[in-house]
Amino acid sequence: MSTEKFDAIVVGAGPAGTSAALTMAKGGLSVALIERGESPGAKNVFGGVVYKWPLEEMIPKFWEKAPIERKIIDHRMVILGKDSGFSVSYKDDYLGMETRGGFTALRSRFDPWFAQQAEEAGATLVTSMPVSEVIEEGGRVVGIRAGRGKENELYAQAIVAADGVMSTVLQKAGIRGPPAAEDVAIGLKEVIELPSDTIESRFNLKRGYGARLDYLGSVARGKSGGGFVYTNSNTLSVGIAVLLSHLLELRCKPYEILDEFKSHPVVAPLLEGGRVKEYQAHLIPEGGLQSIPPLASRGVLAVGDAAMLCLYPEGTNMAMASGVMAGKTILESKKTGDFSIQRLMLYERLMKESYIFKEHSRKKNYHNVLTSGDRFNTDYPDAITEIMRNILVVDGVDRGTKHAAARKVIRDKVGYVRVLRDLYRDIWSALPW
C-alpha cells in the first residue's frame, strides 16, 4: 500500500507535539501527528495551567478562542505546617488581561482544540494509535510502528518524540531508559465539581477569572512534595506531587498523601461540598538539568516531558517552546534538504540558548534541594508555625520577648548559617516564583 514518506512524524499530540506539528505544518511540511488517546488530551494529566508564552507566538490572540477555564489573576503560595498555613499572594487584574498570568485549562478540552489548529494548518492527526516501536536504518530512526504489519508502519525524514515522560520512542531508540525514581514525581489529581458561583465567592474572584494556589511545606509527610488547588470554570483541579524516590521511602500509597492534603484544615474548606468527577495520576519530570536526555539524537528530536523539560511549577510552556524549536529545526532541514543527524543538532543549539535552558541552569540546584531538602518540608514549616502562633496569640508577653523566642526557634530548628545559605542559594530553587 502507501509507502509515502512524511517530512516529519510527531509522536504525541500534547502541548509539545502539537506545537512542533503546528510549526511545521504552517511552514508547509507534511506532518503526521500521532496520538495514542482516543482524542488528544485523553491520556494526559497536568496540574492545570497554560501560559501565554509561547502559545501566543503560534496562535495570536488565542485567548479569544481557546478553551480557557479561568484567567489567573490571583497567585497564592502557601507554606503548610501540620495544621496551619502561611500564605503569600499577589492579585492583579493586569495578569488577567490577555491571560498574562496564565490560564487554567482541562486537557480533554484544550488539547483537542490545540491539535485542531495543527490539523487546520495541514498536519495529519491520527488518534487511538499508540506507537510501539521505532524503525531503524543505518544508525538512525527512520520511522515508527503502531502495531503489526506494514500497514502499521510510517516513515519520515525526522521524528519528534513528544510522547511524554515514559517516552516509548526514546526508549525504543535507545536514547534513554525509563526515568529514575529520583527524577520523577508522581502527581495525583482530582477534578472536583463545584458551582461556578461557589468557586467565585470562595476564592474571591470575578466571573471568568481564577486563582492558583500552590502549596509547599508539610504536604508529603516531611518528604519532597507539593500540592495545588487551581480554579476551573466549574471545577477545581486539586492534587499533590511527591518525588517517587521519596514515596518509596515513605512506603505509603500516593493517594493517602492526596487524602491528607485534601483534609488539611487549610485546604479542606475550599473543597467542601465538591463532587469528585475524575481521578488521575501521572509522572512529572523533576530531575532538572542533569536528567535531560540527548535532545537531538539518531534522527529523533525529544521535546516536552519526553525530554524531561519541566521545572515546578512550569511545564506546558517549556513543552510548547521545545516543540516550536524542534519544528523550526526540521523546517530548516527541509529548506536545505539536509535532514542529517548533524543538521538536526540545530535543535540542541536553539534549546541551549533558550529560556528553557536558562531556567534549568538557574535552578540547577533544584534537584539537590528536592532530594535532600528536608528542611523545606519539615524544619521551616515547623519553625514558621511555632513563631507565628507565639506572635499572634496576644497573651500579655511583650513582643520583644516573643521576637527573641522566634530567633531561638530559627537557631534551633534550622540554624542561622543554613538560613543565610538557603536564602542565598537553595530557596530560589525551591520556590515556584
Partner 1 sequence: MVNPPSRKIDERLYVNRYNVHSENHLHVDQSKCQECRDKPCTFSCPVDDYVWDPELKRLTVFYEGCVECGACVVVCPYHKIALDYPPAGRGVNFRFG
Partner 2 sequence: MVSEAGVGPNILLAVKQVPDVSELRLDPVTHSLLREGVPSVLNPYDRYALEAGLRLKEIHGGRLTVVSMGPPQARKALQESLALGADEAVLLTDRAFAAADTWATAYTLSVFAKTIPFNMVLTGLKAIDGETSQVGAELAEFLDIPHASYVRKIDLRGDMQGVTIERQLENGYDVWELPLPCLLMVAKEFGQPRLATLQGYIRAKRQKIRILTAHDLEALGANSAYFGLKGSPTFIPKVSPPPAKPPGTIWSGDPKESVRKLVDALSREGFV
User: Which residues bind to partner 2, rule: CB under 8 A?
Assistant: 1-2, 32, 34, 38-39, 124-129, 146-147, 149-154
The dihedral through the CA atoms of 16, 17, 18, 24 has a sign that is positive
**Beta-carbon contacts of residue 149 (< 8 Å; ≥ 6 apart):** none
- Tell me how far, at minimum, the Cβ of 121 lies from partner 2, in Å: 14
Binding partner at 180 among partner 2, partner 1, none, C-beta below 5 to 8 Å by kind: partner 1
Side-chain-facing half-sphere of 193: CA atoms under 13 Å: 4
Looking at the Cβ atoms of 124 and 368, the one nearer to partner 2 is 124
Determine, following the binding rule CB under 8 A, whether residue 113 of this chain makes contact with partner 1: no
Window 162-191: residues binding partner 1 (CB under 8 A) = 165-166, 168, 178-181, 184, 186, 188, 190-191
Window 88-107: residues binding partner 1 (CB under 8 A) = 106-107
Binding partner at 264 among partner 2, partner 1, none, C-beta below 5 to 8 Å by kind: none
What would the x/- binding string for partner 1 be over residues 278 to 307, using CB under 8 A? Answer: xxxxxx------------------------
Binding partner at 149 among partner 2, partner 1, none, C-beta below 5 to 8 Å by kind: partner 2
19 DSSP 8-state letter: H
Strand partners, 37: none
Binding partner at 41 among partner 2, partner 1, none, C-beta below 5 to 8 Å by kind: partner 1
What would the x/- binding string for partner 1 be over residues 243 to 282, using CB under 8 A? Answer: -x--xx--xxxxx---x----------------xxxxxxx
242: amino acid identity, one letter: V
Q: State yes or no: cis peptide before 54, omega within 30 of 0.
A: yes
The 10 Å Cβ neighbour count of residue 394 is: 7
The 10 Å Cβ neighbour count of residue 368 is: 14
Looking at the Cβ atoms of 104 and 224, the one nearer to partner 2 is 104
Which residue in this structure is represented by grid cell 509507502? Answer: 3
Angle of the 316-336 helix axis to the 355-362 helix axis, nearest 10: 140
**Beta-carbon contacts of residue 176 (< 8 Å; ≥ 6 apart):** 167, 170, 293, 294
CA distance 179 to 279: 23
Residues that bind partner 1 (CB under 8 A): 36-39, 41-46, 106-108, 111, 127-130, 132, 147, 165-166, 168, 178-181, 184, 186, 188, 190-191, 235, 244, 247-248, 251-255, 259, 276-283
